[in-house]
Structure 1
Amino acid sequence: MTDVTYTRLNDEAAAGVMDQLCEVYADAYGEVPGEDTTVKSSAFRDRATSALSARNYQLVTASVDGELVGFVFGYSLRQDRDWFVGLAPAPEPGFTDERGGERTVVLAEIEVRKAWQGKGVGRGLHDTFLSGRHEERATLSANPVATATHALYEGWGWQRVGSKPGRPGAYYREYAVFMHPLPLAGRN
């Protein structure tokens, strides 16, 4: 396999590569018959731009010979974000407490160009991003019926903790919610 270079970027640097992130996102999902790709790409740009102002935002990119082939970004979860509202089954007391907004990191997006999927780039992005975080746990939400994606996450050590309703205007009505303890096993 060709050498992949992983690079950490802060919010300011990430803003400078937003167009490239959108290209990778569009390529990762490809054409879906009957779907207006501009709607999904526009929604991604809005989410990605909004995330830049989140606490402890970080982007990790994967490049091969100078070409961006994938990325992951996330940020520290704030208590007022209401990330776990409506989580079912109801979590144990204290599960949703963020204790100063530094308890949980949200892995908001992880995307890899179609030609690079299945070659370890996603796992490299995942591990690079999470190994650099100081929080005690990570969370992500996913399409509730994407069982192959769920199996991939579970293989990476994530545990499904339930489902939560999508917010108004969200892409899905419901999301599967996963958690992962930090630091990653075998990492400092």
Structure 2
Amino acid sequence: MTDVMYARVNADTAAGLMDRLCEVYADAYGEVPGEDANVKTDAFRDRATGALPARNYELVIARAGDELVGFVFGYSLPQERDWFAGLDPAPEPGFTDERGGERTVVLAEIEVRKAWQGRGVGRGLHDEFLRSRREERATLSANPAATATHALYQRWGWQRVGTVPGRPGAYYREYVKFVRPLR
């Protein structure tokens, strides 16, 4: 088996990798009957490109030789992002305060090519991304029907904090929110 190497990449370099990131994303999800893969990949490209200017953006890539086999990216959550708007159950007072945008990092995407799933690459990306973050906690959103993924996140130390409604045009009507302390 080829060794997997992890590398941190800044936003400028990430922009140049966007086509390759889209390929990994499409491969990670595979073909879904009745679904236009281009629509989902185009939506990913829009999200990923939109994240590039975010505060403290960082991309971690996983390579096996010359092949890009996975990636994770995220950024510091700004107060105005309103990430937890409509959280059910309602959080305790202060839970949503970002205190200058340095309290929470969003783990926005973590994707691994199908052939590399189940080999620890996702966990390696996850750990490498979170290892050097300076925020107090991390958060992520998940598909509400992806219960196996929820269980995986919980094994990795994430706590489910509730659901939020999807925004207009969002892929899902609601999203499950998770939080994990970093310090």
Aligned-residue CA RMSD (Å): 0.6
Question: Residue deviations 1:55-95, cap 9 Å, x none?
Answer: 10000000001110000000000000000000000000000
Which residues of structure 2 form unaligned runs of 5+? none
Matches within 5 A, 1:127-146: 127-146=127-146
Q: Say which SS state the counterpart of residue 38 (structure 1) adopts.
A: helix
Q: Name the TM-score, length of structure 1 as normaliser.
A: 0.96
Cα distance between partner residues in 1 of 2:77 and 2:11: 16
Residue number in structure 2 paired with 1:107: 107
Residue number in structure 2 paired with 1:23: 23
- Alpha-carbon distance, 1:145 to partner: 1.1
Residue number in structure 2 paired with 1:77: 77
- Alpha-carbon distance, 1:2 to partner: 2.4
- 1:95 matched to 2:64? The reply is no
Residue number in structure 2 paired with 1:116: 116
One-letter amino acid of the counterpart of residue 32, structure 2? V
Cα distance between partner residues in 2 of 1:167 and 1:74: 19
Question: Residue deviations 1:16-63, cap 9 Å, x none?
Answer: 100000000000000000000010000000000000011100000000
Cα distance between partner residues in 2 of 1:177 and 1:24: 24
Cα distance between partner residues in 2 of 1:167 and 1:9: 29
Segments ≥4 residues shifted beyond 3 Å: none
Cα distance between partner residues in 1 of 2:30 and 2:145: 18
Cα distance between partner residues in 2 of 1:41 and 1:167: 18
- 1:161 matched to 2:177? The reply is no
Cα distance between partner residues in 2 of 1:12 and 1:133: 19
Residue number in structure 2 paired with 1:7: 7
Aligned residues: 183
Q: Say which SS state the counterpart of residue 74 (structure 1) adopts.
A: strand
Cα distance between partner residues in 2 of 1:105 and 1:87: 18
Residue number in structure 1 paired with 2:36: 36
Cα distance between partner residues in 2 of 1:109 and 1:175: 14
Cα distance between partner residues in 1 of 2:173 and 2:80: 21
Cα distance between partner residues in 1 of 2:167 and 2:101: 21
Residue number in structure 2 paired with 1:186: none
One-letter amino acid of the counterpart of residue 115, structure 1? A
- 1:56 matched to 2:53? The reply is no
Cα distance between partner residues in 2 of 1:148 and 1:43: 23
One-letter amino acid of the counterpart of residue 96, structure 1? T
Which residues of structure 1 form unaligned runs of 5+? 184-188
Q: Name the TM-score, length of structure 2 as normaliser.
A: 0.99
Q: Say which SS state the counterpart of residue 119 (structure 2) adopts.
A: coil
Q: Say which SS state the counterpart of residue 154 (structure 1) adopts.
A: helix
